[in-house]
Amino acid sequence: MSCFRMQRAFVFGLAFFVWATLPIFHVGIDVRAQQSNAAALAPDEVTTKAQILKKPEAQYTEAARQNDVNGAVLLRVVLAADGTVKHILALQSLSNGLTEQTIKAARQIKFIPATKDNHPVSTSVMIEYEFHLY
């Protein structure tokens, strides 16, 4: 191997090593710290479960009414220790904008966080929104 190739390989290897050891940032936020802080406990791992105080209703869209869409949207939601709703994942969806409406409504949920050993903790819960035309 020529001296030039060895230097280039060394520089590339050093650059990769430096890059790989840098903190991971996403839009100015340290993602590793965010992931470790966002670890949600299962409901059976907490001392007291989160208490939902207010669950806003999702709005039925006009398109869903016109297309006679009925059913349920099932969400997995993290109720964070700081009292905010985070990490919403639709496990069961509906068309015509109803899933988007449920996510919008779920972001407005008010609750008292779950606790473990008298400290607020994040917990993952399932929330269902039903849509029926009568």
112-131: pLDDT as tens digits: 999 999 999 999 999 999 99
| Domain match, 103 and 70 both | yes
**What are the start-end ranges of the E strands in 6-49?**
25-26, 29-30
Whether pTM exceeds 0.85: no
| Domain match, 33 and 85 both | no
Q: Look over the chain and give the mean of its residue pLDDT values, rounded to a whole number.
A: 80
Task: Enumerate the β-bridge partners of residue 114.
Answer: 121
14, two tokens:
């050093």
How much is the pLDDT for 134? Answer: 78
Angle at 81 between CA 78 and CA 86, to 5 degrees: 30
Q: pLDDT of 91-108, one tens digit each?
A: 999 999 999 999 999 999
| Domain match, 7 and 44 both | no
Q: Which strands, in side-by-side order, build the sheet including 123-131?
A: 85-92, 71-79, 123-131
- Provide the domain limits for residue 32: 1-37
20 or 90, which is more confident: 90
Is residue 65 over pLDDT 80? yes
How much is the pLDDT for 72? Answer: 97
1 or 59, which is more confident: 59
The CATH number linked to 69 is 3.30.2420.10
Note the Cα 65 to chain centre separation in Å. 29
| Domain match, 28 and 54 both | no
Distances (CA, A) of 29 to 80, 82, 116: 18, 17, 27
| Domain match, 29 and 50 both | no
Given a contact cutoff of 8 angstroms between Cβ atoms, the answer to whether 75 and 89 are in contact is yes
Distances (CA, A) of 82 to 57, 62, 92, 106: 23, 35, 27, 16
| Domain match, 82 and 47 both | yes
Task: Show Cβ contacts of residue 68 under 8 Å, excluding neighbours closer than 6 positions.
Answer: 133
How much is the pLDDT for 28? Answer: 36
Q: pLDDT of 9-56, one tens digit each?
A: 444 444 444 334 344 333 333 333 333 344 899 889 999 999 999 999
Name the one residue in this structure whose structure tokens are 């949920």.
Answer: 109
Total structural domains within the chain: 2
| Domain match, 46 and 105 both | yes
